[in-house]
């Protein structure tokens, strides 16, 4: 293996938000372009059915649209391996081994499991509970060491490390690497536009809480104009945002879109009222997102081409995953 590998994924559960763009897609393209890693990016369709079963047409369409979102955001299927999870069966095969390595207690402590299963853990799918073991397999079937994600995935990545360490220990091998989460930049956690204490999520039922990557310029401007803020002007230093989550979120979004530090944004806008700052933010968001959404819709006009790209990605991925699964089975005695 020539370069260390980076892996990350997004669920084709429908739609993409500004949070997915800034916390994931934009950084995937940067990782790819840095050239320091072999990059593998994945639509995780097996994960997308853990919360609820989608109709077959919906899932297929979501997967294609997500693939278009990756490419439009700068992930190049020639430079990176771009795949759909179910087309590389070694992910699910390794996940079974990891289901037998991970402990019920570990999984039960995952905050995402607690949040998503809510008050009805008995009625949640077994797949939702086992989700982090499949995620560990997604990463470790490539022996990936570098995983760019948003802040919400931190706990799952710690579990990935625990699974790798327990497997290595139980079998007396040094086979799976201990993965490094890469959670960096101004927008590792883009917040809900109506409540700066909650994460912006594509599964949030209320549309005005999130900016969708396919929103048009008017919708983006309107959502930013109506975003919750406070009556104070922008402070001169980031400390002044500590107790102002809604204000801080808009400054962080601006910073991440403009590739600046939050402090540099304040150097430019200190003293401005939010009415004014929001206009600048909306212009910036439209300038960055519109070319991506038009490229997405152009790519969606040719679904056969998207399927071809994913088919080719799966072939390339399996050159890596088939030998790693074989070695794993050999270690286990299979
Ligand atoms: P969602 O939570 O929107 O359904 P996924 O679970 O598919 O998205 O996550 C895909 C990637 O996007 C992950 O790396 C996740 O950390 C990142 N991500 C999701 N929401 C946000 C957000 N609000 N801010 C930053 N990153 C995010
Ligand atoms: Na998530």
Residue written as tokens 């009805």?
120
Q: What is the CATH number of the domain that holds 150?
A: 3.40.50.620
Q: What is the pTM of this model?
A: 0.95
Strand bridging mode 191-192 / 180-182: unpaired
Assess whether 117 and 257 both reside in one domain: no
Please tell me if the CB atom of residue 150 comes closer than 6 angstroms to any atom of ligand 1. Answer: yes
| Average pLDDT of every residue of the chain | 96
Q: What is the mean pLDDT of residues 58-74?
A: 98
Distance CA 255, CA 189 (A): 13
Q: What is the ipTM of this complex?
A: 0.95
**Per-residue pLDDT tens over the stretch 260-272:** 999 999 999 999 9
Is residue 152 marked as binding?
A: yes
Q: For residue 130, what are the domain limits? A: 5-182+302-332
Which residue has the least CA distance to atom 15 on ligand 1? 150
Is residue 288 marked as binding?
A: no
Q: What is the CATH number of the domain that holds 282?
A: 1.10.240.10
Assess whether 124 and 271 both reside in one domain: no
pLDDT for the residue numbered 187: 87
Looking at the DSSP bridge assignments, the partners of residue 191 are 199
Assess whether 135 and 147 both reside in one domain: yes
Distance CA 313, CA 304 (A): 14
Position 74 confidence tier, pLDDT thresholds 50, 70, 90: very high
Q: Name the percent of the chain lying above pLDDT 90.
A: 95
Please tell me if the CB atom of residue 16 comes closer than 6 angstroms to any atom of ligand 1. Answer: no
Pocket test for ligand 1, best of 19, 48, 75, 190 (most atoms within 8 A of CB): 19
Assess whether 306 and 290 both reside in one domain: no
Assess whether 26 and 61 both reside in one domain: yes
Total of domains in the chain: 2
Position 1 confidence tier, pLDDT thresholds 50, 70, 90: low
Assess whether 13 and 30 both reside in one domain: yes
- 140 vs 185 pLDDT, higher one: 140
Q: Name the percent of the chain lying above pLDDT 70.
A: 100
Alpha carbon separation from 252 to 29, 131, 176, 204 (Å, rounded) = 20, 30, 36, 20
Are 102 and 163 contacting, i.e. CB atoms less than 8 angstroms apart?
yes
Taking 90 as the threshold, does the pLDDT of residue 334 lie above it? Answer: yes
State in Å: Cα 187 to ligand 1 middle: 11
**Per-residue pLDDT tens over the stretch 6-30:** 999 999 999 999 999 999 999 999 9
């Amino acid at each position: 293996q020539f370069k260390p590998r980076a892996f990350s994924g997004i669920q084709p559960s429908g739609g993409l938000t500004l949070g997915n763009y800034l916390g994931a897609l934009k950084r995937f393209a940067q990782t790819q372009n840095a050239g320091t890693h072999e990059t593998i990016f994945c639509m995780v369709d097996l994960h997308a059915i853990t919360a609820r079963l989608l109709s077959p047409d919906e899932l297929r369409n979501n997967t294609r649209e997500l693939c278009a979102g990756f490419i439009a955001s700068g992930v190049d299927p020639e430079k990176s391996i771009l795949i759909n999870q179910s087309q590389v069966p070694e992910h699910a095969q390794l996940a079974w081994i990891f289901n037998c390595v991970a402990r019920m207690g570990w999984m039960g402590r995952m905050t995402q499991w607690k949040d998503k299963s809510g008050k009805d853990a008995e009625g949640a799918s077994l797949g939702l509970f086992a989700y982090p073991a499949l995620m560990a397999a997604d990463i470790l079937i490539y022996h990936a060491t570098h995983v760019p994600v948003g802040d919400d995935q931190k706990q799952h990545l710690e579990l990935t490390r625990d699974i790798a360490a327990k497997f290595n220990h139980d079998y007396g091998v040094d086979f799976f690497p201990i993965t490094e989460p890469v959670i960096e930049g101004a927008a590792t956690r883009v917040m809900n536009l109506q409540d700066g204490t909650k994460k912006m999520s594509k599964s949030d039922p209320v549309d005005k809480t999130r900016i969708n990557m396919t929103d048009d310029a008017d919708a983006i401007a309107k959502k930013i104009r109506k975003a919750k803020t406070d009556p104070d002007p922008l402070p001169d230093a980031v400390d002044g945002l500590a107790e102002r989550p809604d204000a801080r979120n808009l400054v962080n979004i601006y910073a991440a879109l403009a590739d600046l530090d939050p402090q540099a944004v304040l150097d430019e806008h200190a003293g401005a009222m939010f009415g004014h700052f929001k206009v600048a933010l909306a212009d910036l968001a439209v300038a960055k997102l519109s070319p991506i959404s038009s490229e997405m819709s152009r790519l969606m006009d040719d679904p056969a081409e998207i399927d071809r790209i994913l088919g080719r990605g799966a072939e390339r991925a399996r050159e890596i995953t088939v030998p790693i699964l074989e070695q794993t089975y050999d270690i286990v005695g299979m």
